[in-house]
Structure 1
Amino acid sequence: MIIRPKTSWIRLLFSLQGSILVKTWKRILFVIIVSSLVTYWYWSTPETEPSLTPLPFQLIAVALGIFLGFRNNEAYDRFWEGRQLWGRMVNVSRTFARQVTMLVDPLREHDETDVETFRQDVILRTIAYVHAFRHRLRDTDPYPELEAYLEPAEISELRRHTNVPIGILQNIGGRLREAYRQRWVSEYHLPVLEASLTEMTSVQGGCERIKATPIPFAYTVLIHRLVAAYCVALPFGIYDNVQLMTPVVTLLISYSFFGLDAIGEEIEEPFGMDANDLSLNAISRTIEIDLRQILAEEEVPPPWTAEDSVLT
Structure 2
Amino acid sequence: MYTKKTYTAFQMAIWTRFETLLFLVIILAVVAAYYFLDLAWLKIPWTPLALIGTAVAFVIGFQNNSAYGRIWEARKIWGGIVNTSRTFGMFVQDMLTNEHTEKPLSEKVLNDEVKELTYRHIAWMTALRHAMRASKPWETTMGHRTNREWDARPPEHDSDLAQDLEPYLTKDDLEDILKKDNKQTALLYQQSHHLRKLKEQSVIWEFSFLQLESVLEELFTLQGKSERIKNFPYPRHFATLNHYFMWVFVLLLPLALVPQFGEIGKEIATTNPLIGNLFVWLSVPFYVIVAWIFHTMERIGRTGENPFEGTANDVPISTIARGIEIDLRQNLGEEKDAIPGQFPMKHHVQF
Q: TM-score, normalised by structure 1?
A: 0.92
Could you say which residue in structure 2 is the equivalent of 1:49?
41
1:259-274 alignment, distance < 5 Å: 259-274=296-311
Cα deviation for residue 166 of structure 1 reads: 0.7
Cα deviation for residue 10 of structure 1 reads: 4.1
Could you say which residue in structure 2 is the equivalent of 1:224?
243
Aligned-residue identity in percent: 28
Residues 39, 47 of structure 1: CA spacing in aligned structure 2 closer, same or farther, 3 A cutoff?
closer
| Residue 162 (1) aligns with residue 201 (2) | no
| Residue 34 (1) aligns with residue 26 (2) | yes
Provide, for residues 71-108 of structure 1, a one-character-per-residue CA deviation record: whole Å limited to 9, x for no partner: 11000000000000000000000000100001111234
| Residue 302 (1) aligns with residue 341 (2) | yes
- Give SS of 2:17's match: helix
- Contact 1:282/1:303 (<8 A) preserved: yes
Give the unaligned 5+ runs of structure 2: 135-155, 262-279
Could you say which residue in structure 1 is the equivalent of 2:109?
114
Please point out which of 67, 92, 112 is paired with 1:100: 92
Q: Aligned partners of 1:285 and 1:47: how far apart in 2? A: 62
**Could you tell me which amino acid in structure 2 is paired with residue 7 of structure 1?**
T
- Contact 1:134/1:280 (<8 A) preserved: yes
- Contact 2:59/2:242 (<8 A) preserved: yes
Give the unaligned 5+ runs of structure 1: 1-5
- Give SS of 1:148's match: helix
Q: TM-score, normalised by structure 2?
A: 0.82
Residues 8, 196 of structure 1: CA spacing in aligned structure 2 closer, same or farther, 3 A cutoff?
closer
Cα deviation for residue 49 of structure 1 reads: 2.4
**Bigger shift: 208-217 or 292-301?**
292-301
Higher relative contact order (CA 8 A, sep 6+): 1
Q: Aligned partners of 2:45 and 2:219: how far apart in 1? A: 58
1:149-298 alignment, distance < 5 Å: 149-242=168-261, 243-298=280-335
**Could you tell me which amino acid in structure 1 is paired with residue 328 of structure 2?**
L
Cα deviation for residue 51 of structure 1 reads: 2.7
Structure (1 or 2) with the larger CA radius of gyration: 2
Q: Aligned partners of 1:213 and 1:305: how far apart in 2? A: 30
Please point out which of 3, 19, 22 is paired with 1:7: 3
Residues 229, 94 of structure 1: CA spacing in aligned structure 2 closer, same or farther, 3 A cutoff?
same
**Could you tell me which amino acid in structure 1 is paired with residue 341 of structure 2?**
P
Q: Aligned partners of 2:237 and 2:50: how far apart in 1? A: 24
Residues 47, 258 of structure 1: CA spacing in aligned structure 2 closer, same or farther, 3 A cutoff?
closer
**Bigger shift: 45-54 or 247-256?**
45-54
**Could you tell me which amino acid in structure 2 is paired with residue 129 of structure 1?**
W
Q: Aligned partners of 1:245 and 1:39: how far apart in 2? A: 10
- Give SS of 1:64's match: helix
Cα deviation for residue 110 of structure 1 reads: 3.8
Q: Aligned partners of 1:154 and 1:20: how far apart in 2? A: 50
Residues 237, 47 of structure 1: CA spacing in aligned structure 2 closer, same or farther, 3 A cutoff?
closer
**Bigger shift: 87-96 or 146-155?**
146-155
- Contact 2:33/2:39 (<8 A) preserved: no
Provide, for residues 215-246 of structure 1, a one-character-per-residue CA deviation record: whole Å limited to 9, x for no partner: 11111110111111111111111112222122
- Give SS of 1:180's match: helix
Cα deviation for residue 266 of structure 1 reads: 1.0
Could you say which residue in structure 2 is the equivalent of 1:88?
80
